Amino acid sequence: MNKNCKISSKDVFYGNLQPSFPQLCGEKLYWLQAVLERSGAAGLYTVDLSVRGAKPELVSPPGMEPNSKVHEYGGRSYLVSGEYVFFANASDQQIYRLTIETGELLRLSNDVQFKYTEFLLATDGGYLVCVAERIVDGANNENMIVGVNLHVDNVVAPFTVLVSGADFYAGLVIDVPRQKIAWFEWDHPHMPWDSSRLVIAQYSEQLTMGLRDTQVLIDLPDTSVCQTHFTPDGALVFAIDGQAPQLGDDNLSSTTNTSLESWQLMLWKDNRFERLSFDDAEYGAPFWVFGEYRLANFTGGLGAIRSSNGYDSIVGIEQAALPLVGTSINGSSQFDVVQQLLSDNGGYFCALAGSADQPLGIWSYSDDSAHGENLWQRITGPESVLPSDCVSRPKHFAYPTRDGMRAYAYYYPPSNCEDKPHRIPPLVVMIHGGPTSKTNGLYDPLKQFWTTHGYAVLDVNHRGSSGYGREFRQSLLGRWGERDIEDVIDAIDYVISKNWANSDEIFVRGKSAGGYAVLRLLTEYGEYFAAGASYYGIGNLAVLAEDTHKFEFCYSEQLLGRVYDAKNASKAGDPYYDRSPVNFLDNMCCPVIVFQGSEDRVVPPSLAHNLVAVLKQKGIFHEYIEYPGEGHGFRNPKNSSDALQRELDFYSAALVT
C-alpha cells in the first residue's frame, strides 16, 4: 500500500479544521473554526473577498471564544456589524463587543445566570436582539427573547425582555426597514420538529424596545416550522411540515387542508400564505443548534437547500416556484452536501458545502452570464489528506426492514489502495446521534480512517432519522431502542447478503443516542459483533430522565412513549427498564470500550459511571476512558485522536482474539 493512503488518527482531527457558521459583512467573510493552538477552542476568522488570494486572519483574541451554551448545543454565537463583533464568550457565557481593528473588548452583560445566542441588530447600533436562557436548575431553565440597549453609556448594557412564556425560542429573524421580527417557539413535551408555532410582531424603539401587534401565524397540531427568513420586500418565508395552513385564493383549490409529508417552503405576505415548493424533498431540517440557515436571498428570489434521496442541492425559488439553479463543484451538477447558505446586499452568495471527495468548505458563487458560466469558487476549508484514488466514495441505498418498510444507509468499501482488496472486509457500523439527526455522504476523514485501515463502513439512517420526510422521522416515537436497532441489524444483514462485509468481523460505534444504540445492540444482538465503542452513550434511561438538561427533558418520554415514573422505571415491563442496556449486560458477549467527557451536560458522566460499575460487577471485558474538561462531543483534537486510536487498537485486539 502507498503509505500516503493510510491516514492516522491525528490526520483525522488535526487536518480537518472545518469552518462553521459563516457570515458576510460587506466584502468580508467571517466564520468559526477550531484553533489548534487553543486546544480546539473556536476562533473567529475573516477573509476579504475583494482581494484575490487573501489569507484568513484570526480575529478573536486569546482567552475569548465565541461559543454559546444555550440549550447546551449552542450554535452561531456571534454577529458582525461594521467595525464590531458581538459574541457570547465560552467561559462566562456573557455578551462582549469586540472592535475588530483595535481589538478593544467591551463586556455588555454581567449576569452569570444568563446565556445568550442568535444575535441580530434591530437598527444600526440601537438594540442587540437575541435569545437568552436564564439558568435555574437545568431542567427548569427559562428561555426568552431580549433586546440589549446599546445606546447607554454604562459599561454593562441593560436588556429588556421582549417575549417570554414559551419553553423555547429559535429562528429569530428581523426585517429592519419595516421593523418586523419573527421566530418559532415550542413547549414541552414536544421537540421543535414535532410541533412548533410561527410568530411575527412589530417592534418599536422608543424609550425602551418593545413589541406590538403580535400574531401567531402557525399553531396547528402535529405541525412544525423552521428556517424563518425575511425577503428584501418584507415577505416572511419558512419551512413547514404536518398540516398546511389555509392558503391564498390562487392556491386554495389544490392545497387547502393538505398534509405536508416533508418540509415545504411557504411565504406570508399581505396577510395571506403562498406555497413556494411542491415536491417531496426536504427544505427544512430539525432544529438542534442556532444559526443554521438553509435560505438566502439570491438574484431577485431565494436560494434554498433541497435535500432528497440522501443528497443536497441548491435551488432557486421565486413566488412562481422556478426550477433549479445550476450549481457546480469540479464540474458536477450539484454538491453532495450543503449545510448553510448566506448572502448580503453586495451581491455575494455563499454556501457551506462539500462532496464525497471534498471536505466541507465555504464556497462563493459568481454568475458570469457574459460567458455562459456559473462558477463556484472555494474560499476556505481543509484539503483532503488522501490522494483522489484512495478516497472511498459512498453508495447510498435503501434496504428492506423486517416489517415490510425500508430504511437507508451509506456503504463505504475499503480504500482502493488497501493491501487486500479481494478479501471480504471487516465492517465498522456507524450510528448517528439525535436520534433525530442524519448521516450524509460528505467526505469525512473519520470514515476514510477506517477504510484506509482495511475496514468497510456502514453508516445507517434508521427510521427516526431526518431527511426522508415527516412520517419516516416520526416513526421512531414510542419505539426508540427497538425500531432503530432493528433497522441497524437489517442493514447489516443486507450488507452481508451482498458480500460487502465479513459476518465474523463486525464492529459498531456511535455517539450520544448512537452510543445508546451501540449498547442496545450489544445486549440484544451481541452475537453479531466482535466489539463495540460507545461515546457518551446512555446505559440507563432512568438516570437520563432524572439528570438531563431542559432542551431534551421530555425527549425520551416522546421517544419511549411513556412519561417517566421513578417507581415503575425499575420494573420489568416499563420501557425505561426494558430498553436500558445496563439491565441486560448478561447478554453482552463481546468487549466494549466506553468514552466519556467529565463535563458533559447532555449525557452526564453519571450514566457512564453507572454503566461501568455494572460492567465491572458482571466481569464483562471493557475499557473506560474519561477525558477531563470535555463536554458533549470531544473538541480537543488531542483527546479525539487519542480516543480513535484506542478504538482502533481495541478492534484490532478483538480481531486477533
Which tens digit of pLDDT belongs to each residue from 538-576? 999 998 888 788 999 999 999 999 999 999 999 999 999
Task: Give 330's pLDDT tier (boundaries 50, 70, 90).
Answer: very low
373 domain residue, yes or no: no
Higher pLDDT, 657 or 223: 223
Q: b/e per residue, 569-579, with b = 16+ CB within 10 A?
A: beeeebbbbeb
Cis bond before residue 192 (omega within 30° of 0): no
173 neighbors 187 (Cβ within 8 angstroms): no
Question: Strand pairing of 20-25 and 406-412?
Answer: unpaired
Look at residues 463, 450, 457, 452 and name the one whose alpha carbon lies nearest to residue 411.
457
Mean pLDDT of 577-588: 93
pLDDT band with cut points at 50, 70 and 90 for residue 53: confident
Asked if pLDDT for residue 124 goes beyond 70, the answer is no
Q: Which residues pair with 44 in a beta bridge?
A: 32
Closest CA to 225 of 168, 140, 145: 168
What grid cell was written down for 533? 465503542
What's the pLDDT score for residue 248?
A: 62
Q: Tell me, what's the pLDDT at 276?
A: 93
pLDDT in tens, 467-501: 999 999 999 999 999 999 999 999 999 999 999 99
At 331, is the pLDDT very low, low, confident or very high (cuts 50, 70, 90)? very low
On whether the CB atoms of residues 167 and 551 are closer than 8 A, the answer is no
- Tell me if 531 is assigned to some domain: yes
CA distance 12 to 526: 29
Strands 406-412 and 41-48: unpaired
Is position 631 within any domain?
Answer: yes
Q: What is the spatial distance between Cα 654 and Cα 638, in angstroms, rounded to a whole number?
A: 24
- Is the separation of the CB atoms in 72 and 601 below 8 Å? yes
pLDDT of residue 333 exceeding 60, the answer is no
Confidence tier at 57 by pLDDT (50, 70, 90): very high
Q: Is 125 left (phi over 0), alpha (psi -120 to 50) or beta?
A: left
pLDDT of residue 253: 36
Mean pLDDT, residues 347-358 = 91
* 492 inside domain: yes
What is the per-residue pLDDT for 255?
41
Is residue 416 one of the residues assigned to a domain?
yes
Going through 514-653 in order, the beta strands assigned E by DSSP cover 531-535, 592-597, 622-627
DSSP string, 219-253: --TT-EEEEEEE-TTS-EEEEEEEEPPP--GGGHH
Report the range of poorest mean pLDDT among 56-70, 187-201, 600-614: 600-614
Give dist(CA 261, CA 89) in Å, integer: 39
- Is there a domain that residue 306 lies in? no
Residue indicated by cell numbers 441497524: 488
pLDDT tens, 172-224? Answer: 999 999 999 999 999 999 999 999 999 999 998 777 888 999 999 999 999 99
With a CB cutoff of 8 Å and minimum separation 6, the contacts of 493 are: none
pLDDT of residue 256: 46
pLDDT recorded at residue 423: 83
Segment 390-409 shows an average pLDDT of 96
Instruction: Give me the chain's average pLDDT, please.
Output: 90
DSSP state of 66: B
- pLDDT band at residue 374, thresholds of 50, 70 and 90? low
Cell of 163: 417575549
Tell me if 641 is assigned to some domain.
yes
**Nearest CA among 381, 266, 283 for reference residue 341:** 283
Band of pLDDT at residue 28, cut at 50, 70 and 90: very high
Q: What domain range includes position 458?
A: 388-656
pLDDT of res. 326: 37
Q: Which of 267, 215, 207 is nearest to 238 (CA)?
A: 267
Q: Could you give the CA distance from residue 266 to residue 227 in angstroms, rounded to a whole number?
A: 10
Grid cell digits, residue 206:
422608543
Least confident span in 67-71, 246-250, 318-322, 634-638: 318-322
pLDDT recorded at residue 510: 97
Under the banding of pLDDT at 50, 70 and 90, the label for residue 59 is very high
Q: What's the half-sphere exposure (Cβ side, CA atoms, 13 Å) at 6?
A: 8
CA 51 to chain CA centroid, nearest Å: 32
> Quick one: what percent of the chain has pLDDT higher than 90?
76
pLDDT at 52 over 50: yes
Nearest to 378 by CA among 393, 398, 360, 356: 360
Rounded Cα distance, 179 and 230, in Å: 11
Task: Please check whether residue 361 lies inside any domain of the structure.
Answer: no
- When pLDDT is cut at 50, 70 and 90, the band that residue 106 belongs to is very high
Q: In percent, how much of the chain has pLDDT > 70?
A: 91
Give yes or no for residue 241 having a pLDDT over 90.
yes
**Total number of domains constituting the chain:** 1
What are the angstrom distances between the C-alpha of 267 and each of 42, 120, 270?
35, 22, 10
Q: How far apart are CA 315 and CA 288, in angstroms?
A: 23
Q: Mean pLDDT, to the nearest integer, of 53-57?
A: 92
pLDDT band at 46 (very low <50, low <70, confident <90, very high): very high
CATH of the domain at 462: 3.40.50.1820
Scan for cell 417531496, then name that residue.
280
Q: Which residues does residue 106 pair with via DSSP β-bridges, in sequence order? A: 97
Largest CA distance in the chain: 75
Q: Which helix (H) or strand (E) holds 655?
A: helix 637-656
pLDDT at 24 > cutoff 60? yes
How far does the chain reach from its first CA to its final CA, in angstroms? 25
Q: How far is CA 623 from the centre of its chain?
A: 29
The three grid cell numbers given for residue 496, joined into one nine-digit string: 452481508
